[in-house]
């Protein structure tokens, strides 16, 4: 796999929805995520915070209605600055089961610093947007402030 560059957009939608857009493998991927079953932004951040803390493997389950996305990340055994990522889409109804039918899958490898920088910049943008009263109005209860703070602290400690 090529250790390519990627583009990532993270959006905290209103009324319990969030979005991740990813450009990888020359393809565009869009994930619509519900906050009904978990906080997908927090799950996503915690998985990458673990990798920044040198945990070798991490995963997160992000739900749609219906469906789920399982992100499995592993630091490359030969090149620890590379993270191999596999994203699988499953039929699911709000509760993760290993027996859920897989619909699709894609993989890519990227420098951990690169994808972390993309996430970091999205969190800085989100923090600024949350200062706007009208933006914050229907998002405040979904805003994972502690998880954002933890990611930013670990990222800055590792790469600053």
What tokens does 7 get? Answer: 């583009």
In this prediction, residue 15 carries a pLDDT of 85
Residue scoring higher pLDDT (2 or 147): 147
Question: Which tokens sit at 32?
Answer: 């619509």
Residue 1 pLDDT: 45
Of residues 24 and 141, the one with the higher pLDDT is 24
Dmax (CA) for the chain in angstroms is 47
The answer to whether the predicted template modeling score (pTM) of the entire model surpasses 0.75 is yes
- Domains in the chain: ranges and CATH: 7-159 (3.30.2450)
Residue 18 has a pLDDT of: 95
Percent of the chain at pLDDT exceeding 70:
96
Q: How confident is the model at residue 76 (pLDDT cuts 50, 70, 90)?
A: very high
Average pLDDT (13-26) is 92
Q: Residue 135 pLDDT > 50, yes or no? A: yes
User: Please, what is the average pLDDT of the chain?
Assistant: 93
Please give the backbone phi and psi of residue 126, each rounded to the nearest 5 degrees, phi first: -65, -40
Give which of 60, 105, 59, 109 is closest to 80, Cα–Cα: 109
Query: Cα separation of 101 and 4, whole Å?
Result: 29
pLDDT in tens, 49-60: 999 999 999 999
**Residues above pLDDT 90, as percent of the chain:** 79
């Amino acid at each position: 796999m090529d250790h390519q560059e990627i583009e990532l957009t993270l959006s905290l939608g209103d009324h319990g929805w969030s979005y991740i857009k990813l450009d990888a493998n020359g393809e565009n991927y869009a994930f619509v995520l519900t906050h009904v079953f978990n906080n997908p932004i927090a799950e996503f951040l915690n998985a990458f915070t673990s990798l920044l803390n040198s945990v070798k493997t991490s995963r997160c389950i992000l739900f749609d209605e219906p469906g789920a996305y399982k992100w499995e990340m592993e630091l490359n055994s030969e090149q620890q600055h590379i993270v191999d990522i596999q994203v699988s889409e499953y039929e699911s109804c709000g509760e993760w089961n290993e027996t859920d039918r897989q619909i699709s899958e894609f993989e890519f490898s990227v420098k951990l610093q690169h994808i972390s920088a993309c996430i970091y910049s999205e969190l800085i943008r989100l923090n600024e947007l949350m200062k706007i009263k009208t933006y914050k109005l229907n998002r405040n209860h979904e805003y994972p402030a502690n998880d954002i703070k933890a990611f930013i602290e670990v990222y800055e400690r590792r790469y600053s």
